[in-house]
Structure 1
Amino acid sequence: MLIPEPPQVETLIAETDDAGIGMSYVLREEEQLAQVWSEADRTEHEHSVREIIDRLGGVRQLVEVVRIRSDSIWERFITLTLERLLSNQLREFLDGVDVQILALSQQMVEADCEIDRLRARVQKRRGWLKEKIAALEPMAHRTSTQTHLNMMLARVEGLEAYLLGRKDVAPEAYEYHYKRHTTLPGDLLYIRVRLSTTRIAILASNRSKQLGELDTELVGLLPEIDRYKSALTALVTRIECISEISRYWLAYLDIAGDEKIAASQEPE
C-alpha cells in the first residue's frame, strides 16, 4: 500500500517558501495520487463486483433449488409416513427419504460454503477500498483548500502592491515582498505550486468520496447475502427435523420388530 508523505513536508514548504522544493513535492504527490487509484484498479474493482453479483445470482438459484427439493421431501414425509406405516412399508419409505436427504444435504453444504465465500469476498474488497481511502485522506486534508486560497490571495495582493507601489494592502504583505526583492517568475512559480497542491487536495478528496460510494455499494450486497444465509438455515433446520423424526420411527420399528420376534418365540 502506498504511504503518503508525512504532513511535515507541507509545513516545511509553507515556511521555507522554496518553490523548487514545492514543485518536486507536487510531482511526487501527483504520481502518488495516480498510483493510489489507477485505471487498472478501477477495471479490477468493476470486474470483481460483477463477479460477486454473478455468483450471488448463482446462490439465489441454488437456494431456490434447495427450497423446492426441501418442500417436496417435507410434503411427502408428513403426508405418507402414516400411510406407509399402516401398509408395513415405512422402513423402505424412510430409507428412500434418507437417500433424498443425503443428496440434498450436499447441495446445502455447497450453498452454505458459497454464501460464506461471497461474504468474505465482499469484506476483502471493502478492505482493499479502505486501504485506498486511507492513502488518499492525508493528501485530501493535509492543508485545507481555504488555507491555500488565502495564502495565494495574500501573495498576489502583496505582489501587486510591490509592483505597483501601492500602500492600500496589509503592511506585512507589502513588506514581505519588498524585503525579499521578489521576482515575478518566482511569485508565479509559488502560485503555481499552491494551485497544484490545492488541485491535488481536491482530486484526492473527490476520489476518496468516490471510493466511499463504491464501498457503500458493496455494503448494499450484504443484506441480500444474509437473507440467503437465513433462508438456507431455515431449510437446514427443516431437514434436520425430518431426519430426527425418521430416527424415532426407525427406533419404533426396531422395538416393534423385537416384540414380534419375542412373541413368536414364546411357547404355546
Structure 2
Amino acid sequence: MKTQNIRTILSFNKNYSHINREERNLAAIFYYALLHNNNAQRFLRLIGDDNPCNGNDFGIYFEYAFLRDLWHNIDKEYENDVKRNIILELLEPTNIAELKSTSILEFNTYFGCVPKPSNQFIQSPGNWSIIGNPKINVKGFNQTVDNNEEFEKVCKFKWSFNIKPDIVIHTSKDSAICIEAKLESGEGHYPANPNEEAVFNKRGIKERISQTSLQKYMMEDLLGIETKFVFLVNNSNVKSDSHTTITWQEVFNILDTTNFHPFTLDWISNYS
C-alpha cells in the first residue's frame, strides 16, 4: 500500500463520521435512537404529541413503503377487480365507464405501464409512465390523459406509490408522524426527470409538486391516516408549507443517549 494517499496528504485522521454528509445515514442514526431509552416518547413531546409509545399498534418505520406493500398484499384471487376499483374510485377519471369495461391489457396500456403492459394482472400505479417505453412502442399516459387537471392527478397517484418517507412513527393504525430528514439537500419536487419536466412544460403546467405535499397526499388521501408532518433540517431557516420544521440540534439535544455506541455518539455530537 502506498504511503501517500488522499487522507495523508490532507492530514486527515478523524473518523469518517465527523465529515459524513449522507442524510440517509443520519436518518438511520436517528431511527436507531428512537428505538432506545424511551426516545420516541421524548420526540413526540418535542413536537407536541401526547400519544403513548407503548400500544399494540405503535411502530417506527424507516423508508416507509406502506402503500407499495399494501398493494402487493391484495388477495390474489380477486386482485384484478379490487385493484381496478381502487384506481377508478380514487382517480374518478372522466372516462371511468370506458376504463371499467376495458381488458386488463387495455387498462394497463392506458396508463403506460412499463417495462410493458401486462395482459394478466392490473399493474401497480408505481409502474405507470408519463412518457412510456419508446423502445417497444409503449405510449405514456401523457398521450391518453388529455385534461391537465386529470393528468396531474394521475401523476400524483403514480408518484405516491414510489415515494418512501424517511421515518414514520405510527402511534396507532390511524395516526402517524411522518418525518422527512434533510441535511444539506433542499426539498425535492416532482417531476424530477428531465423528460417528464419537458412534458409538463409542453402542457403549460408551471406549478410543481413538492416532496412534502406529495407525502401529505399519500398519507391522508390514499392511506387515510391522520398525520403530523415533520421536516427535519440542519438549518432553522429552511421551512415547509405543510411540515413542522425542527432542527437536528433540537432533536438530538432531547435524546437519552445512555449506553449508545461511541460511533453513534460521534455522529450525534456533530449536531447537538
TM-score by length of 2: 0.20
Which structure has the highest strand share of the two?
A: 2
Q: Which has the larger radius of gyration?
A: 1
Q: Which has the higher contact order (CA 8 A, sep 6+)?
A: 1
